[in-house]
Amino acid sequence: MEERMLFTLMVFSSVVVLAETIAQKPAIKIYSLHVDCKVTSRFAHTVITSKIVNQANESREATFEVELPKTAFITNFSMSIDGKVYPGIIKEKASAQKEYDTAVSHGQSAGLVKITGRKLEQFHVSVSIAAASKVTFELMYEELLKRQLGKFELLIKVRPKQLVKHFQIDVHIFEPQGIRFLETGSTFMTNELTEALTKVQNETKAHILFKPTVDQQKINPELDETLLNGDFVVRYDVKRGAAAGDIQIVNGYFVHYFAPHEMPVFPKNVIFVIDRSGSMAGRKIEQTRDALLKILQDLRLEDHFSFITFNRKVVEWKSSLLQATAENVASAAGFVQTLSASGGTDINRALLTAVSVLDKAERLPERSVSMIILLTDGQPTSGESNVEVIQENIQKAVNGKYTLFCLGFGFDVSYRFLEKMALSNGGIARRIYENADAALQLQGFYQEVATPILMKIEMQYPENAIEGLTKNNFKLFFEGSEIIVSGKISNELDLLPVEIKAQSHMSDLTLKEEANVKEKEQVFQNQSYIFGNFIERLWAYLTIQQLLEKSISAQEEDQKTLEAQALELSLQYSFVTPLTSMVVTKPTGQEQAELANKPTEADNEKPSSFPVGDAYRLRSGPPPGRWRSEPKSVSNKKLSSVVDRLRDKTRARPLANEYPQLLLQLPKQNEIICLNTDGKAHPSVHLLSDPEQGLAVTGKLGDRINHFVQFDINYVNPPVQIRVSTDEIVLTHNNESTRLLWTESGTSTIQGLRVSVEKERSVTASLSDTVTVKISFVKFPDDFLGLYFLNTDRFSDKVSGVLGQFYSKAQFENNSNVNQRADGRLLSVSGAVHKVTRQYKKDYRLESTSEPVPCWSVDVTA
């Protein structure tokens, strides 16, 4: 009987209990387990690598299981079996589903990712490996750490279920603002394990290393059982100087962190709307009573409050809001203790009553924050039961005056309904899980919203210099949280000014700051362990999250536009989001592909009560209420323009001979070269090689057209060949090939080399600290390819080839005998002098904003 061994490593922000049965001496042996987390200005990039060996004399199944935060986006997964790599490919969800349905005939599958707790989702994949074979699993994901109650938290839960020879957790933190405090903790730490923990910290950096030996991992020296079963926690916060926050800039993208502190708290006017229908009976109503009694003690004297309870009837505790005096709080506690549950659920009338109480309230503090907190565990069954009508009624009644927070208790509730209603009224939705700590979950949520210190916050930047600005207007700011705004600097700015306008309890505020762009860029220079484009990826991550959130509460006609923008960014930056899927390939002879989808909290409903979503049915379409009618324009025009450029530029359809064969910009010179070769005489043209970059590119001209129809890109490390033709893109590594098509967008990553296909537009190959290779797909009247490079300052002096020589050995000459006007010059390249002429050509580079482009045309011999 085949033995199955399952191991689990969890990286997330909460506790989960899993049940597994493991043999005393497993045939599947984990010999290396490494968690490498780099946190750069709150943006965390985590790589989990697990290496195992099959010690049996026959095939065994190994299962890789990882818990990661719901807020994280998976960016890559790969399996390496006996040196052969099987990469994950990120595609549009509908396209990936179609491919999967075609390949798999045995029906439904549970999928590779599922929600497992209030903060977690689980990635799970199995593969059969031969006797004595080795497999390496590698999963990457990224997330923006959220500041809550004055700290950031990274929690790693380790549960390998066996002793691991090489076990290591590395956490690198770099915070240019300075690290205010840093602490680590663990639920499984012993005196022996403490010796395996080291922490090195200076003003802006920290490195936490946990590397226990096999002996240190043992519960008992006589037993091969592991102590590593619990939480490993890193908590920290940053120093805060300038009142207007901190601005950081890398590669033309900026991020602005704003978290004022030590400011007076607004008085709150809060109405608790509590479901006491029959489904709340028992443990739920008991936990609700416990939580409300604690929350009452947290009210401030200047706060005003009341309760509305509802089943099929709506009951007001008092006819008006009361100040939170000791006497009133005690009276409220007595009322809370009498709460019992029975009857139906009239959410509509309960919320309209709460709005009416706030509308009629008198003698409230002049500057105060009014909010409604709804707690319910079910769908509306009494009174108005149409959720769309309820949403419309509440939004019309609130009319932007108050903030609505919706808490859904358990899984009988329709989370989509609550989420849309909350987002439409300036609040958020949160699911309360039916665990022993449900009362603590309720208290914890209240603590997050209990201390508003700013309202009507506007973050203003120069309109003509910033593109793709993320959300920059906020209704409320709570003590201990953080506002984050990001965007792309479109102009050559020396100074980036910012102005913040907001209302505090005491006055209106205007805060101003200027960031020196060059000085800010220098902060991140030479930080070897920091991934260099992190602010651009942070911008993409934040933009996708906000587009998806906005689509939930948008009108039908705007939903398709918002989701299309989010999809394009998801594919461009290789994020597994609710709109994309990762196709996980497996060795020949096993199930050929599985899908890793991104579940949402709204998908996490009981299938018996609600329509089945993506978390339960792999073959299902988009969630209800999405991808409906033709869109109208959305308000954020700048964001639309950025995403549009990542999608379809409006191009003329030129004749093929209007394009150059090759096009490049000379390094450190504002001059563009258009190259034409006589490569038809050769089966392959050696275009470029750079031994220090470990990169070589060759090309092949078409039989019928004088343009390139195929490029071969060869990398040394990792040893990968990419063949790009007008028909397809083929990646080859260790004699294994992965095929990508022009007809669909997709991404594949092999040992850090990311290859992205933008549907019928381009292929991009990028590797850390290496020149980025880009190939445009040009159509009409004949298909051909256009090659160019980004980050060309990374080429070494040894770069060579028909094209490569121009990056190291090209220089315009000053010759008095040659007309130096714009129509002719002399260009020296590798010792040869070429007369070049000024011409106008079509520009196949996708980033170009001018077309046609003026360039110096030169003919070279291949």
226-230 long-range contacts, Cβ below 8 Å, gap at least 24? 226/160, 226/161, 226/162, 226/163, 226/164, 227/188, 227/190, 227/193, 228/158, 228/159, 228/160, 228/164, 228/167, 228/188, 229/158, 229/159, 229/161, 229/188, 230/157, 230/158, 230/159, 230/186, 230/187, 230/188
Q: Which residues are 728's β-sheet partners?
A: 741
* Ramachandran category for residue 548: left, alpha or beta (phi over 0 → left; psi -120 to 50 → alpha): alpha
Position 704 confidence tier, pLDDT thresholds 50, 70, 90: confident
Position 521 confidence tier, pLDDT thresholds 50, 70, 90: confident
User: Going by DSSP bridges, is the β-strand pair 4-12/728-733 parallel, antiparallel, or unpaired?
Assistant: unpaired
pLDDT of residue 652: 39
- How big is the chain, counted in residues? 862
What is the pLDDT averaged over residues 769-786?
87
What is the pLDDT averaged over residues 306-314?
95
Do the Cβ atoms of 369 and 476 come closer than 8 Å? yes
Q: Answer whether residue 20 shows pLDDT above 80.
A: no
Write out the DSSP string of 769-812. Answer: TSPEEEEEEE-SSS-EEEEEEE-GGG--TT-BSTTGGGGTSEEE
Q: Answer whether residue 115 shows pLDDT above 60.
A: yes
| Burial annotation 541-567 (CB, 10 A radius, 16+ → b, else e) | bbbbbbbbbbbbbbeeebbbbbbbbbb
pLDDT of residue 210: 95
**Alpha carbon distance 193, 191 (integer Å):** 6
Q: Answer whether residue 336 shows pLDDT above 80.
A: yes
Which 3 state secondary structure label does DSSP give 685? strand
pLDDT of residue 812: 82
Tell me, what DSSP letter sits at residue 861?
-
3-state SS track over 691-746: CCCCEEEEEEECCCCCCEEEEEEEECCCCEEEEEECCEEEEEECCEEEEEECCCCE
pLDDT of residue 837: 85
Q: Answer whether residue 629 shows pLDDT above 70.
A: no
Question: pTM of the full predicted structure?
Answer: 0.78
Lowest mean pLDDT among 116-120, 169-173, 293-297: 116-120
User: Going by DSSP bridges, is the β-strand pair 753-758/746-750 parallel, antiparallel, or unpaired?
Assistant: antiparallel
Lowest mean pLDDT among 100-104, 260-264, 379-383, 598-602: 100-104
∠ at Cα 49 (44, 51), nearest 5°? 170
Q: Which residue has the higher pLDDT, 594 or 381?
A: 381
829 to 68, 120, 338, 836: CA distances (angstroms): 53, 57, 89, 12
Nearest 5°: phi and psi at 704?
A: -105, -20
Do the Cβ atoms of 356 and 401 come closer than 8 Å? no
Q: Which residue has the tokens 């009452």?
A: 296
pLDDT of residue 827: 86
Q: Which of 496, 643, 647, 461 is nearest to 562 (CA)?
A: 643
3-state SS track over 558-571: HHHHHHHHHHHHHH
Q: Answer whether residue 616 shows pLDDT above 50.
A: no
Do the Cβ atoms of 738 and 773 come closer than 8 Å? no
Q: Which of 49, 176, 231 is nearest to 522 (CA)?
A: 176
Q: Which of 576, 567, 575, 573 is nearest to 548 (CA)?
A: 567
pLDDT of residue 167: 95
Which 3 state secondary structure label does DSSP give 350? helix
pLDDT in tens, 458-506: 999 998 899 999 999 999 999 999 999 999 998 788 899 999 999 999 8
Q: Which of 82, 83, 87, 70 is nearest to 123 (CA)?
A: 70
Lowest mean pLDDT among 18-32, 371-385, 404-418, 693-707: 18-32
pLDDT of residue 191: 84
Whole-number CA gyration radius for the chain: 30
Nearest 5°: phi and psi at 327?
A: -65, -45
pLDDT of residue 680: 65
Do the Cβ atoms of 763 and 757 come closer than 8 Å? yes
Q: Answer whether residue 816 shows pLDDT above 70.
A: no
**Alpha carbon distance 125, 385 (integer Å):** 41
* Ramachandran category for residue 826: left, alpha or beta (phi over 0 → left; psi -120 to 50 → alpha): beta
**Alpha carbon distance 694, 700 (integer Å):** 21
Instruction: Compute how many other C-beta atoms are within 10 angstroms of the C-beta atom of residue 10.
Output: 26
In angstroms, the first-to-last Cα distance of the chain is 62
Q: Answer whether residue 621 shows pLDDT above 90.
A: no
**Alpha carbon distance 411, 15 (integer Å):** 19
Do the Cβ atoms of 429 and 604 come closer than 8 Å? no
Which 3 state secondary structure label does DSSP give 233? strand
What is the pLDDT averaged over residues 557-573?
91
pLDDT in tens, 788-812: 998 888 899 899 999 998 888 888 8
Q: Answer whether residue 589 shows pLDDT above 80.
A: no
Instruction: Compute how many other C-beta atoms are within 10 angstroms of the C-beta atom of residue 98.
Output: 13
Do the Cβ atoms of 587 and 127 come closer than 8 Å? yes
Q: Which residue has the higher pLDDT, 660 or 821?
A: 660
Residues with Cβ < 8 Å from 150, sequence gap 6 or more? Answer: 237, 479, 480
Q: Answer whether residue 821 shows pLDDT above 90.
A: no
What is the pLDDT averaged over residues 51-66?
89
What is the pLDDT averaged over residues 208-213?
95
Lowest mean pLDDT among 307-321, 622-636, 651-665, 695-709: 622-636
**Alpha carbon distance 855, 661 (integer Å):** 13
Lowest mean pLDDT among 277-291, 572-586, 661-675, 844-858: 844-858
**Alpha carbon distance 100, 594 (integer Å):** 7
Q: Which residue has the higher pLDDT, 737 or 852?
A: 737
Q: Among residues of the chain, what percentage have pLDDT more than 70?
A: 84
Q: Which residues are 786's β-sheet partners?
A: 776
pLDDT of residue 107: 36
Mean pLDDT of the chain: 83
